Amino acid sequence: MKQFFYLITLLFVFSCASINAQNYKTHKVKDGETIESIAKQYLVTPYDIYALNPDAKKGIKKNTVLIIPDSKVTDAPQAAISKELIGFKEHKVKRRETLYSLSKEYDVTEDEIKKHNTFLYANNLRKGDKLKIPVYKKTLVVVEPVSPTNTYTVLPKEGKWRIAYKYGITVNELEALNPNMPEVLSPGDKVYVPNVDKDEVKEVSEQYSYYEVLPKEGFYRLKLKLGLEQDELEALNPELKNGGLKVGMVLKIPFTGEVNGEIADIEDVDLTSKHMNGETKHIAVMLPFKLDKVVLDSITDTKRQINRDPYLKTSLDFYSGVLVAFDSLKRLGVSLKVDVYDTRNMSSEVSTILRTEDLNAVDAVIGPFMPDNVERVAQALNAYQVPVVSPLTKNVKLLDNVFQTRPSEDLLSNKIIEYVKTDSTLSQIIVIADHEHTKVSDNLKRIFNRASQVYSRKNKEGVDAYFILDSDIIDKLKPGKNIVFLETDNSGLISNVTSKLNALRTDDIEIVLATTNMNKAFEDDEVSNYHLSNLQFHFPTIAKTYNEEDNNSFAKHYQSRFGITPNAIAVRGFDLTMDVVLRLATNSNLYESVVNDPLTEYVENKFSYKKEMLGGYYNNTVYLVKYDGLKIVEVK
């Protein structure tokens, strides 16, 4: 036991010696002290203290011992001598005199004597040399200590990453300097930043994009993700040469229209107004009609079969939009050759089509629907660089020639999250979820750490009962604007929550409803559209809904041709076909159009393709919409 205590004592002595050797000191926390007050006392930043005391981020208590680094600035005024040249004194060098002895005699430096007697740079001092000895007027100057931080006023549209980039620190370091900084900054907010010279403050240029380094990302991972070599990153970010990569560091990168995956504001291109190249474009459409299974003896039976078979119904709806697109393209003067194939939703049929039909020379293939069949077609046509456009499904393997037109679920949730982050008018964020969506709720809490969480009540058996009480949320609402995330796919909980939130609105309390996952439960008959409208329900979506009173030419043409109003699948068939063919008609190929036409938009869908570093292309843009009255409109 004595040996154990002896070992502990030795470790303590060595640890103290190590601290002293690295110019650190310790501080015992007194009652009422904060990290900010302690940092000011020792003329260091809160981040300096957090770096040596990670647990302090959770809070500090009286008598806690902190390791404090020595300040890079002094806490006392510093005296300095200011010298002003007022003339010269002549001196003829005597025997045995040296520059050193003359510098001492006249209280100047040897370099100052050489500066005014330049022949001494090439020759030794000799007896008889005539020198000009500078004469200075000396003044005592007292320099006040410099604070390690400055106060910075947040500008409009500025978030944490912009400020961090300007001052050459990471987002984590900015947050450590400002422990009480809100998640979303507002114009006019005051934050602490490093005290650096004005010429060291970097400008954020709209001609570049910016990327925040994630945990465990080194130059190799950044090369795979960004397509940039280490020397290219260092050329744009010279500080990397000395400091290397750090988590949270904001890097300047060539313009991609993104900041950490978020699409920047890009004007959409109207391809109908661009010059058409006049060439005939050849496309193939591959859909799972399953016509070999359709019984045409009875109209009633055929209708029933269409409604029962989701593949057949979806194919027919999508193709009806494709046909209207062909009509529109013909009126625009586009020369088009089209081959339509029934895949029957069978991989064997897809293989037969690939074997028996000449698809190597087509300009693009639209379809098939299912991911496995998309991959099969893409593999067969990859060597010929024929683009294969996936119309509806997600999770398609992105081979080099695949265009994934359906945006990812992550992009949808990020859209609403980034919108809330930039809302400078917020007073409170509340997350309401059922117990199946705990992971989503916890993720929102991680992003908005000051948000309040509410879960649906359980019954006596411990099973989710999908309701909340007024008391669950009343004390969490604040005067001003409250955004409430509702994460569930249970229509009963949606009805319960929207009804209560609608009743809790007052002149002082504004409530805006939002969700990261818009699903069919929100459209259930049990859910009141009036409540959703009153709550300005915000949600991300891959397609906005066109308004019939907007005099939409596509809707009119569709209704005159088919006698019904187009559904979302039909509109997507129209939008996607128009986009693919117009990109081909105004560019050499679909790949070139990704660069020349970064964003296109049609009736309900928009397309902005980004290339995977080692793969194909994916649609990187979605809509944010809200209920406005009883309409659903885009949030600009």
568-613 pLDDT per residue, tens: 999 999 999 999 999 999 999 999 898 888 899 999 999 999 887 6
User: What is the span of the domain harbouring residue 361?
Assistant: 279-407+550-621
133 and 222 co-located in one domain: no
Domain assignment of residue 631, yes or no: no
423 and 531 co-located in one domain: yes
Which residue, 621, 443, 389, 425, is CA-closest to 510? 425
Q: What is the DSSP string of 273-340?
A: GSPP--PPEEEEEEE---GGG---S-HHHHHHHHHH-HHHHHHHHHHHHHHHHHHHHHHTT--EEEEE
Q: What's the confidence (pLDDT) of residue 196?
A: 76
- Show the tokens assigned to 602: 């049609």
Domain boundary (143, 166, 198) is at 143
Could you count the other beta carbons within 10 Å of the beta carbon of residue 46?
A: 24
419 and 374 co-located in one domain: no
Domain assignment of residue 258, yes or no: yes
The confidence band for 90, taking pLDDT boundaries of 50, 70 and 90, is: very high
- Name the helix (H) or strand (E) containing 51: helix 46-52
The strand pairing partners of 142, in sequence order, are: 79
**At which residue do the structure tokens 């193939």 appear?**
284
431 and 318 co-located in one domain: no
Residue 46 Cα distances to 20, 37, 178, 322, angstroms: 20, 9, 8, 61
Domain assignment of residue 59, yes or no: yes
Q: Is the pLDDT of residue 517 over 90?
A: yes
Domain assignment of residue 270, yes or no: no
CA torsion through residues 474, 478, 482, 488, sign? negative
- Taking phi first (over 0 means left), then psi (-120 to 50 degrees means alpha), and beta for anything else, what does residue 180 get? alpha
**Cα 156 from chain centre:** 18
Range with lowest mean pLDDT among 61-70, 121-130, 358-367, 602-611: 61-70
Residue 51 Cα distances to 57, 66, 107, 224, angstroms: 10, 11, 46, 30
Q: Is 587 helix (H, G, I), strand (E, B) or coil?
A: coil
191 and 303 co-located in one domain: no
CA distance 546 to 276: 27
Over the range 297-321, which residues count as b (16 or more CB within 10 Å of their CB) and which as e? Answer: eeeeeeeebeeebebbebbbbbbbb
Q: Is the peptide bond before 368 cis (omega within 30 degrees of 0)?
A: yes
Could you count the other beta carbons within 10 Å of the beta carbon of residue 124?
A: 8
383 and 287 co-located in one domain: yes
Residue 480 Cα distances to 215, 425, 483, angstroms: 36, 8, 10
Which residue, 612, 518, 529, is CA-closest to 568? 518
CA distance 286 to 389: 10
Domain boundary (509, 541, 573) is at 541
Which residue, 537, 492, 531, 546, is CA-closest to 517? 537
Q: Which residue has the higher pLDDT, 187 or 465?
A: 465
The confidence band for 9, taking pLDDT boundaries of 50, 70 and 90, is: very low
Q: What's the confidence (pLDDT) of residue 13?
A: 35
- Per the prediction, the chain carries an average pLDDT of 85
355 and 286 co-located in one domain: yes
Q: Read off the DSSP letter of residue 66.
A: E
421 and 434 co-located in one domain: yes
H helix count then E strand count, the chain: 22, 26
Domain assignment of residue 517, yes or no: yes
Torsion of CA 20, 22, 28, 31, to 10 degrees: 150
308 and 426 co-located in one domain: no
Domain assignment of residue 634, yes or no: no
Q: Is the pLDDT of residue 204 over 60?
A: yes
Segment 183-188 mean pLDDT: 82
Task: Report angle CA 541, 546, 552 to the nearest 5 degrees.
Answer: 150
CATH code for the domain in which residue 103 is found: 3.10.350.10
Residue 501 Cα distances to 368, 436, 453, 504, 624, angstroms: 44, 21, 15, 5, 21
Sheet holding 250-254, edge to edge: 250-254, 208-212, 258-259, 262-263
Q: What's the confidence (pLDDT) of residue 305?
A: 65
CA distance 194 to 506: 43
Q: What's the confidence (pLDDT) of residue 224?
A: 74
120 and 59 co-located in one domain: no
CA distance 207 to 476: 42
CA distance 342 to 323: 16
Q: Read off the DSSP letter of residue 543.
A: S
- Show the tokens assigned to 41: 């006392």
- Show the tokens assigned to 137: 């007027």
Contacts of residue 562, defined as CB under 8 A and 6 or more positions apart, other chains included, come to 320
Which residue, 228, 200, 199, is CA-closest to 213? 228
Q: What's the confidence (pLDDT) of residue 525?
A: 92
Domain assignment of residue 433, yes or no: yes
Parallel, antiparallel, or unpaired: how do β-strands 617-619 and 609-611 relate?
antiparallel
Q: Read off the DSSP letter of residue 86.
A: E
Range with lowest mean pLDDT among 166-170, 293-297, 597-601: 293-297
Domain boundary (512, 541, 570) is at 541
Q: Alpha helix (H) ranges present in 153-298?
A: 160-166, 171-177, 219-226, 230-236, 239-243
569 and 449 co-located in one domain: no
Q: What's the confidence (pLDDT) of residue 539?
A: 96
Q: Is the pLDDT of residue 188 over 70?
A: yes
Could you count the other beta carbons within 10 Å of the beta carbon of residue 119?
A: 10
Q: What is the DSSP string of 356-367?
A: HS--TT-SEEE-
Per the structure, the count of domains in the chain is: 5
Contacts of residue 87, defined as CB under 8 A and 6 or more positions apart, other chains included, come to 134, 135
Q: Which residue has the higher pLDDT, 436 or 253?
A: 436
CATH code for the domain in which residue 515 is found: 3.40.50
Q: Is 191 helix (H, G, I), strand (E, B) or coil?
A: strand
389 and 291 co-located in one domain: yes
CA distance 190 to 176: 15
- Show the tokens assigned to 298: 């009875």
- Taking phi first (over 0 means left), then psi (-120 to 50 degrees means alpha), and beta for anything else, what does residue 524 get? beta
Segment 16-20 mean pLDDT: 38
**At which residue do the structure tokens 């000799």 appear?**
126
Q: What is the pLDDT of residues 366-408, one digit of tens each?
A: 999 999 999 999 999 999 999 999 998 888 888 989 999 999 8
CA torsion through residues 584, 589, 591, 595, sign? negative
Domain assignment of residue 381, yes or no: yes
